[in-house]
Structure 1
Amino acid sequence: MKQLLFTNWHIMRWIRLLFGLFSLQQAFQYREILFGLMAAFFLFQAIFNTGCSLNGCTIPKKTNKDEQ
């Protein structure tokens, strides 16, 4: 878990973190629940490195050993 949180910080992960923190600040300032939900979504993606950045959502090519 510690390795997941502290390694592999690329530019999109930083952008998600900044956008999540900005949305969180806006949610408190304007008392808007939508900004709070957006903040939770982006902060979750940034902290746990989930999402479809840097080809994260590509389907791996499946090869059969019989075909080779």
Structure 2
Amino acid sequence: MKQLLFSNWHIMRIIRLLFGLFSLQQAFQYREILFGVMAAFFLFQAIFNTGCSLNECSIPKNKTNNEQ
């Protein structure tokens, strides 16, 4: 768990963290549930490094011998 939290920080992960913190601040300031949900979503993605950042969710293009 410690390895997951403190390694592999890239620019998109930092942007998600900043946007999640901003949304959390807005949720408390304006007492809006939607901002709280957005904050939870982006903070979860930033902390656990999930999501489709940097084309990690794309399907790999593996060629088989039959296709060549």
Shorter-chain TM-score: what band?
0.7 to 0.9
CA distance in 1, matches of 2:31, 2:6: 31
Give the structure 2 partner of residue 24 of structure 1. Answer: 24
Unpaired runs of 5+ residues, structure 1, are: none
Q: CA deviation at 1:59?
A: 1.5
Unpaired runs of 5+ residues, structure 2, are: none
Give the TM-score normalised by the residue count of structure 1. Answer: 0.87
Give the letter aligned to residue 2 of structure 2. Answer: K
Larger helix proportion, structure 1 or 2?
Answer: 2
CA distance in 2, matches of 1:31, 1:42: 18
Give the structure 2 partner of residue 34 of structure 1. Answer: 34
Matches within 5 A, 1:43-54: 43-54=43-54
Deviation by residue 1:1-60 (Cα, 9 ceiling, x = unmatched): 111110000000000000000000000000000000000000000000001111110112
Please state if 1:2 is matched with 2:2.
yes
Paired residues in the alignment total: 66
Identity of aligned residues (%): 85
- CA-atom RMSD in angstroms: 1.3
Give the TM-score normalised by the residue count of structure 2. Answer: 0.87
Give the structure 2 partner of residue 60 of structure 1. Answer: 60
